[in-house]
Amino acid sequence: MLSKEVYTLACAGLKKLALNQECRDAFDKNSLFFRLFERAAHRYIIASDAQELSRKLQVLALKGYQLGVEYVGEENHDPQVVKSFVSEYLNAIQGFARAGLKPQLGFDLSAVGMLISQETAYHNAATILSAAAEHDIPVMISMEHSSAVDKIFEVYAELAPAHHNVGITVQAHLHRTVEDLPRIISYGRKVRLVKGVYNESPEVALPRGEELDKRYLTLLDDLLAAHVSVSCATQDPNLIKRLFDGAYHSKIDELEMLHGVQPEVLRRAKDEGLTCRIAAVYGDSWYLHFLHRLAESPDNVLEALADFYDPSRITFGAGY
C-alpha cells in the first residue's frame, strides 16, 4: 500500500504531464501513443465525432440523464484552429437540433480565442451562445488556471448580461472565489461549482481535504441563498453524501459528473431523485482530458492499463 503522500505527488505528476507540450505533441492523432491509448481514453471520451456523439447521447437521455457536451480542444493560439473549433460547435448545435437534443454545451474561453485576444474570445463565445439560444440550448463556460481567471471574468462580464443561456464554472479551491462570488451571483446566471482541477500554489488555492470540502459547502450555501441556479459538479462520493445528508439535493439544480467516471455513483444519486447530468467530452485531442481523469484517482492509471490490455472491459453506457 502506497502512502497518501505518494498518491498526492502522483496526482500532481500526472497533472504536470498533462500540461507538457512535448507530451501533448506525442499524442497527436497520427502518433503511436494515440493509437495505443485511444481505446483506454474512450472510457472517458464518449465519441470521436459529432455523429457518433448524437447517437450515444440519445442512449443516455433515454436512461433519464441530463446531458452536457464539450469538444476537446487545446489552448488555441492559431486563428485557423480557433475558427474550426467554433465551426465544430455551430455544426454540433444544428445536429442536436435535428436530433431533438438540448445538451448543455461547455468550453474553455482559451479554446475560442482567449490566447489571441479577449475580443476574439468574446466574439466567438457570443456567436456560439446566440446559435445555441435559437435552439434553447444552455452553455457553460469552464474555469481555467488561476492565471487566466481575471480575463475569463472580464469576458464573462460582457457575455452574461446579454445571454440568458450562459453560465460559469467557479473553483472552490481558489482563495479568491470567496470574494469573486458576489459579482458572479449578481449576473443571476447559472453557476457550476467545482473543486478545481489545476495544480496551484498554497498562496492561491487550498489542497484537497476537509478545509476545501467545507469551503465548497459554504460557497454552495451562498449560491443557494442568492437563488441562482446551481450545478454541483463533483465526483467525490463523500461530498455527494454530504449533499444528501445536508439536504442540499433538494435545493441544487443538478449533480454533474464527467462521462465514464464512476457511473454507479451518479446512477445511485439519480435513483434517489436528484437530477443528474453526464458531462460528455468528444473529439480526438483527448490527451489533457484523459490525463486529468487519471490524476483525479491514480488507481485510474491501473484501470487504463487494464483497458489497454483488454479494451472489451469498456462497454458504453454500462453502469448508468
Ligand X SMILES: Cc1cc2nc3c(=O)[nH]c(=O)nc-3n(C[C@H](O)[C@H](O)[C@H](O)COP(=O)(O)OP(=O)(O)OC[C@H]3O[C@@H](n4cnc5c(N)ncnc54)[C@H](O)[C@@H]3O)c2cc1C
Task: Please say whether the beta carbons of 250 and 232 come within 8 A.
Answer: no
Shortest Å distance, C-beta 162 to ligand X: 22
Closer by beta carbon to ligand X, 134 or else 292: 292
Closer by beta carbon to ligand X, 92 or else 233: 233
Closer by beta carbon to ligand X, 29 or else 255: 255
Shortest Å distance, C-beta 128 to ligand X: 16
* Interface residues toward ligand X, by CB under 6 A: 142-143, 169, 171, 194-198, 208, 233-236, 239, 256-258, 261-262, 279, 293, 296-297, 300
Closer by beta carbon to ligand X, 120 or else 234: 234
Closer by beta carbon to ligand X, 98 or else 183: 183
Shortest Å distance, C-beta 262 to ligand X: 5
Shortest Å distance, C-beta 256 to ligand X: 4
Shortest Å distance, C-beta 185 to ligand X: 18
Angle between helices 32-41 and 299-309 (to 10 degrees): 110
Written as nine digits, the cell of 42 is 474512450
